[in-house]
Structure 1
Amino acid sequence: MVPNFNQKTINTLAKRAAYLCSNPDCRTQTVGPNEDPNKSTVIGEAAHIFGARPGSKRYVSSMTDFARSNITNGIWLCRNCHKMIDTDYQRFSSDILFIWREKHENFVSSELGNTTDKIRQEQLSLQLNEFKDYPPLIRRIIIDKPIGWEYKLTVELMRYLNNPFLRKIEDLKAGLYIKSQQHVKDEEMADWISKRLNESGKLVPPMVGLIDRLNKSWGALGEEGDFKEIHHICCLIRNNLELIVFHEEKIFSTNVPERYERVLGLLKNLLGSQAEKLKIIPDRLEEIISYIDKDDKKALEALEGKEEMIVFEVSENWEKDFNKELNELNINLEHQYSQRGCLMMIPLGGIILGALIFLC
């Protein structure tokens, strides 16, 4: 598939821009009369925001061809501005172009729309206000609502909100930073270990309920999702992830007596390794989106009824090693491990994504 815009997309981009160049410093009229009374002259072009082909400006290899040719990836420009953004592509980033298009369509609505259009645009602007500091692509998805937009929005939100904290977990493991050192005395260790385990048992289980609500926010089959609810749930997941990072920072920044070093080592990244499994959700959604984008019915049918699990658990080996260390240290904790699982099955576009949590 050649990722060019089809004629319908080109016409829609042009009309949404009122045939004006979307560069706010230009706004040249891009259509006018031709010497031939049966023709018009068009000097506007539908430009790709993310490049259409390898080697083109702002090309992103992870995008599907369908996404590249989707209206969300387009902007209406005059020929001069189209050439300018591709010649000086470092100056005219994808974020700049998304902002150009959004501001220009707001301008067109306010200048050329009727009263109802203006009211509708004002309402949308108010709804988008909470996303004003987010990447412009997120706002564009909400405005355009392309096929599978609920999944696309979730992918972008989860990566934007979660990646800074997932990066912190990676940096902690690599020893790139620590917080202020805390020194725990020998007689304090049993209480310190118990508190860390109790924290662990409380921080991961909420993810099951959040994943369930995220699924519901996408809407029932044939119904549109709720972008505000999707955003709300993604923020709650981010908040929970932030608490997990804080928990890991406390452990990585703790100095313990030498004989407790192995216990400390087992506690390090115990929750962080579970939190990193959140990457599965946007990765899996993106795979489904690619099938939707390509209209790959065979691949989508193959996903029907398939179960994929996100398992948040304490492994048997970890539990065995940890209890062995506690026994050697003569530490008895009230905290007991349980293999009781809380299972939540999440349907994702035909497949079933499950979150399985074993509570400590």
Structure 2
Amino acid sequence: MDSKATNIGEAAHIYGARPGAARYRPEMSDDERASISNAIWLCSDCHGQIDKDAGRFPENLLLIWKEKHEEKLMQEIGKPGELLRRLANDREIGQLGSIPLYAEQIIREKPPYWEYMLTAELLDYHLKPVLRAARDLELGLSVRPRIHLPRGEFFLWMGTKPADLRAFIQALEGLLEEFRNAWGAPGQPGDAELISHVAQLVGRAARHMVEVAEEAKFTNVPEGFEGLADCLVDGALHPIKNLPELSKFIRSIFHSTSNPSSNFEYVLKIEMPEGWTERFRRELAKGQAALEARGGEW
């Protein structure tokens, strides 16, 4: 008696493969979409259901399905070495704190060039809420209690802000170089923990700039110094606007070439608005002149 097996499984995309597909992410490269980290094995019926109703089957649900099913299979049929490797991966991921489920899949499966995929994913993850907060501030959608500074503290407070902005730019330069260290030397695996740490620090640095802008916007300044406060807000928010370009560049490598192992050069400009220093000095002088015209009345 012949035994026959029928394969009813289908490889499905977690994030859609093309525009209009369920859970499609336009910023992802084709290599990321084709990666094993973006794949889940389903029966044909379930494959059809998840693609017809993305609201009912969001990406995080599919990633959890995949993770739990892999755990079950590993426990039932996994070899000792595979079980230990899974345990090591779980511990590695557990040390990283809160990261997206898709980033966890990248770390577990480590597809080709996973270090760069992970960097792009974590940068977007940590920068997204910061950039949203910056946009809310620019559009006047965020509020916070006003800050009242005594006269003796105002000029000291105002004078420290340019140094805060310069410190951010210097820190970013060091962090971007640290990514190179985290990716590892050619032919050597990268360091997932260091990649995650650096991406987190980039997000924190950007968050600090938004906090500087919020403080400037919601601090009561003497009449005549309003332009100086606006100058500080612009100076704090402008440098972070280009940060998402780094993850876009990383993903563009996979879009533009079939050999991402080549050498690529990218210059990310993190700088103050053009003419910002002169504007700051001009607004400071304007405020001081207004204060003198009032006879020093605060």
Q: TM-score, length-normalised on structure 2?
A: 0.86
User: Hey, what's the Cα distance between the residues in 1 that align with 2:115 and 2:184?
Assistant: 9
Q: More helix by proportion, 1 or 2?
A: 2
Of the three residues 180, 193, 198, the one matched with 1:228 is: 193
Residue 173 of structure 1 contacts residue 269 of structure 1 at CA under 8 Å; is this kept in 2?
Answer: no
Gaps of 5+ in 1: 1-34, 332-360
CA–CA distance in structure 1, aligned partners of residues 6 and 145 of structure 2: 67
Question: Are the aligned partners of 2:96 and 2:193 in contact in 1 as well (CA < 8 Å)?
Answer: no
SS of 1:41's equivalent in the other structure is: coil
Q: CA deviation at 1:53?
A: 3.7
Q: Tell me what 2:163 maps to.
A: 198
Once residues 280 and 61 of structure 1 are traced to their aligned partners in structure 2, the CA distance between those partners, rounded to angstroms, is: 14
Q: Distance in 2 between matches of 1:48 and 1:147?
A: 18
Give the superposition deviation at 1:259. 1.1
1:92 aligns with 2:63: no
Show CA shifts across 1:77-133 (max 9, x none): 223322332343321112111111111111111121133322222221121224574
Q: Work out whether 1:269 is the aligned partner of 2:227.
A: no
* Structure 1 position 187, deviation (Å): 5.6
In the alignment, structure 2 segments of 5+ residues that lack a partner are 290-298
Corresponding residue number in structure 1 for 2:293? none
Structure 1, 191-200 or 281-290: larger mean CA deviation: 191-200
User: How far apart, CA to CA, are the structure 2 residues paired with 1:305 and 1:46?
Assistant: 33
Q: How does 1:1-360 map to 2 (within 5 A)?
A: 40-130=5-95, 133-184=98-149, 188-292=153-257, 295=258, 306=265, 308-313=267-272, 315=274, 317-330=275-288
- Let me know the Cα RMSD of the aligned residues: 2.5
1:188 positional shift: 4.4
The aligned amino acid for 2:168 is: L
Instruction: Provide, for residues 210-242 of structure 1, a one-character-per-residue CA deviation record: whole Å limited to 9, x for no partner.
Output: 111111101112221111110011111122222
> How far apart in 1 are the matches of 2:161 and 2:179?
28
Higher strand share: 1
Where 2:267 maps in the other structure, the secondary structure is strand
Q: 1:65 offset after TM fit, Å?
A: 3.6
Are the counterparts in 1 of residues 29 and 251 from structure 2 also a CA contact under 8 Å?
A: no
1:190 aligned partner, one-letter code: F
Q: What's the CA shift string for 1:153-181, capped at 9, x where partnerless?
A: 11110111111011111111111113210
Q: CA deviation at 1:329?
A: 4.4
Residues 330 and 54 of structure 1: is their aligned pair in 2 closer, same or farther, counting only changes over 3 Å? closer
Counterpart secondary structure, 1:47 = strand
Identity over aligned residues, as a percent? 32
2:212, 2:233 within 8 Å by CA — same for their partners in 1?
Answer: no
Q: Deviation per CA, 1:258-298, whole angstroms, max 9, x where unpaired? A: 21112122111212111222122111111113234xx168x
Q: Which has the higher contact order (CA 8 A, sep 6+)?
A: 2
Mapped partners of 2:184, 2:71: distance in 1: 28
Q: d(CA) in 2 for partners of 1:200 and 1:276?
A: 14
TM-score, length-scaled by structure 1: 0.73
